A and B are shown apart, each in its own frame.
Chain A
Amino acid sequence: MRLLSVVLFFVTWWIVSILVGGAKLPPPPDVLNAMIAEARTGALFLNLGVTLARVALSFLLAMTLGTAIGYWMGRVRLADRLGDPWLIILLNLPALVVIVLAYIWAGLTEAAAIAAIAINKLPTAVVTLREGTRALDPALDEMAHIFAFSRGRAFRHVVLPQLAPYIAAAARSGLALIWKIVLVAEFLGRPNGIGFEIGVAFQLFDIPLLLAYSLSFAAVVFVIETLLVQPFETRLSRWRPRAA
């Protein structure tokens, strides 16, 4: 079924490209050629690699900090009261503002780019994990207390499995957000990466090149989602009775 829907996508693309003309929407073979040319020089893999590294770093940073802050805000009332206004501002701050400000304050550096991307994702992770922490079952906390679970054991076996669906949700939506923002950050202030190449293609009006990079990127995202994220989610929920 998945394969069929991918095939359908390419067929539709081809038909539309014939209808509107190759200048506006080049047919799949042209884009494939551009892709192969970029792959031959190694530029495609270099740029993909750089972008993926940025995604991985900012994702890890945002998830770690977001989980810690969210857990803390869910457990400690004062932290929640103090942190909430910050959270609301960060949640509603446009990504572009954060990126531009980061570049202005920290220069056009790698650190600025990664921090800006992470800051964009951070508040959603915090909100999701705070909700998850509030939903922790006090009955199980009592059980762990009675049976004298150590802190580490209680966290790993009692708290973490309850937070797992929230962490998975935060990771899922966070990854989607980062895929979108990373290109903007690269477009605006990095000398490499998919976002930078798309910027170049845009200035040269090189539509096959633009599509070649966009599609390679989309393909990588697709592969990561199906091969990494989904099996991980399945594993986390294997204790749940299967729905018929």
Chain B
Amino acid sequence: MRLEVDISAKEFANAAGERHEVLRDIAFALAPGEVGVLVGPSGCGKTTLLRILAGLDHDYRGRVSRPENARIAMVFQEPRLLPWRSVEDNVRLAAPKLDAAKLSALFEVLELSGHRSHFPGELSLGLARRVALARALAVEPDFLILDEPLASLDDALAARLREEIASLVGGRSMITLLVTHNLDDAVRLGDRLFLLSARPARILAALPIALPRDARSEAEIAAIKASIVRQTNGERTERGPT
């Protein structure tokens, strides 16, 4: 029940027919209960990588082995809710087997109880993100993918949602993969950090964080961040300015 990834290359052809390499030599593995975080600059190919891992894109060289019959859930960068279905129906459609008590509990935790009958068009981005998160967790997935779930939220809201994600991800035995360009989010949420380079994305460093999530103090988070910044800076000067 592990996620094993070994992608040697992924190319895209643009409209003019030129081929661009987006990913190169990406290899890592995650065990159940672990939160892997892919950190990299914007546009480096993180979303492309996620799409391959989610099974949406099969056009790559290499191998991805997901746990067999794994239930996958994904929180996309934009909420991708069905605008013509209510919040509750959006969640229920993805997870038809979820019983009412669990659904209520989930809505309670994510503070969505008052919005059950609202349509997504009536929600703020922060709320819509939470609905997307509720939908993903309602599936009770074996493999949860989060693509920049905190992007374009203000700091306070992002911090709250990050706490919620941390507590919801904490008690479960699923493989979680989070993508972000925010180092702070990565250090606070991840068990294993994978630093990605600019295009074509390669893994620059794989950093396990041994300390459990809720035991990380502000000082330790700052220290981990500082060490990562040192490493990536070293890499940048080596490669020249990007």
| Chain A residues engaging chain B, CB cutoff 8 angstroms | 139-140, 142-143, 145-149, 153, 157-158, 161, 164, 239-241
13 extra interface residue pairs, beta carbon distance < 8 Å, beyond A139-B78, A147-B93, A149-B93: A139-B76, A140-B82, A143-B80, A145-B56, A146-B56, A146-B73, A146-B74, A147-B73, A147-B74, A147-B95, A239-B83, A239-B119, A240-B83
What are 5 of the A-B contact pairs (CB < 8 Å)? A139-B78, A147-B74, A147-B93, A161-B84, A239-B121
Docked pose: A212 CA to B32 CA in angstroms: 78
Question: Which B residue sits closest to A156, measured CB to CB?
Answer: B93
Assign chain B's interface to a size class: 20 to 34
Binary contact readout B51-78 vs A (1 if CB under 8 angstroms, 0 otherwise): 0001110000000000000011110101
From residue A64, how far is it (CB to closest CB) to chain B in Å? Answer: 22
Of all chain A residues, the one with the shortest Cβ separation from B89 is: A157
Neighbouring B residues of A161 by C-beta, 8 Å = 82, 84-85
- Interface contact A146-B93, CB-CB below 8 Å: no
CB distance from A52 to the nearest CB of B (A): 31
**A164 contact set on B, CB distance < 8 A:** 84
Counting from the closest, the 5 A-B pairs by CB-CB distance are A161-B84, A147-B94, A239-B84, A239-B119, A143-B80
In the complex, A142→B94 CA distance in Å?
A: 13
In the complex, the chain B residue whose C-beta lies closest to that of A142 is B56
* Cβ of A18 to closest chain B Cβ, rounded Å: 53
A164 to B78, CA, bound (A): 23
Contact assessment for A146 and B85 in the assembled complex, using a CB-CB cutoff below 8 Å: no
Report B160 CB to chain A, min CB distance, Å: 25
* A157 and B82 form a contact (CB under 8 A): yes
Please, how many angstroms separate the alpha-carbon atoms of A142 and B76 in the complex?
A: 10
